[in-house]
Amino acid sequence: QATGNPLYLEYATRVAKGFRTHVTVQNGSWTWDKGIVPIVAGDNLEGSPDTSHANREAMMVASMYEAGIEFTASDVAMVGSTFTNIIWNQSESNPMFSNYIDGSNKPYRTVAAPGGNGLIYLGWNVLGRHSIQAQRLLAISYQMIRTASPLNASLAANASSYGLIEMSGTLLRNNMR
């Protein structure tokens, strides 16, 4: 979009189509690369993408949809369902986000605490533009980070100055349609 160069559109389209080949639909949600990620002691113990690093895919799907590249509203809804129905623990009073996108809380690298690898402010947060439930969850999480004490492992993972800036800005962006 920025340059109008058709080569970049071709690249983006190829990346999106390639990612789609890794996706599995399960109960209205997307998972990807389950069983493909190597299980390595001291690293990934689940064999599924970890929630923190999977921010990139969530943002990619939403951004490409918004740019009219490959993904549909239904695709974004399924990624949103991954966030709100699998990763989130369904608690509004103590929201936590699993360490892996399949809902597992096995340790990830040096993060042993359940939900400690539940970083959501670098991509999962943009889904609030397309999901009322995701936006509500982000708003609740942001407010709790600002006011609650002590914070659970997931909220603490998102409580850095970067996390607060990113979440507040994205909450506003998500409301601008």
Task: Pick the closest to residue 137 from 149, 154, 150, 116 (CA basis).
Answer: 154
Write out pLDDT tens, residues 144-174: 999 999 999 999 999 999 999 999 999 999 9
Q: What is the DSSP secondary-structure string of 115-170?
A: TTT---TTTGGGGGGT-HHHHHHHHHHHHHHHH-SSPPHHHHHT-SHHHHHHHHHH
Beta bridge partners of 23: 32
pLDDT tens digits for 34-86?
A: 989 999 988 999 999 999 999 999 999 999 999 999 999 999 999 999 999 99
pLDDT beyond 90 at 122: yes
Name the pLDDT band for 3 (thresholds 50, 70, 90). Answer: confident
